[in-house]
Amino acid sequence: MQFRASHILVKDKALAQKIAIEAKQGGNFAMLARKYSTCPSKSKGGDLGWFSPGQMVPPFENAVKKLSHNRISDPVKTQFGYHIIKKTGIKE
């Protein structure tokens, strides 16, 4: 199984919560990623491409597994900061 996701990575929990609310209320996820994310993926609108189980840190991977297609997560804390994740694909 493979997953595809985009994310926005920030260090501040309050900022992550603000971005998640904006994204869930219809904000353009790719534009929000370009504006706020500290990850190099921001140049691609946060797109991380396809990945298999075990390629991402467990809290991130678990959040992606639980998300429905095209849904946006609440902030997910990892050692890198706070991620707002949008699940964009799944392949068996």
Instruction: Report the CATH number at residue 58.
Output: 3.10.50.40
Residue 23, pLDDT score: 97
Q: Residue range 40-48: average pLDDT?
A: 97
Which residue range(s) make up the domain with 17?
2-91
Total count of domains within the chain: 1
Residue 73, pLDDT score: 98
Q: Residue range 2-15: average pLDDT?
A: 98
Buried-exposed string 20-54: b where 16+ CB fall within 10 A, e elsewhere: bebbeeeeebbebbbebbebebbeebbbbeeeeee
Q: Residue range 64-73: average pLDDT?
A: 96
pTM for the predicted model, two decimal places:
0.95
Residue 54, pLDDT score: 95
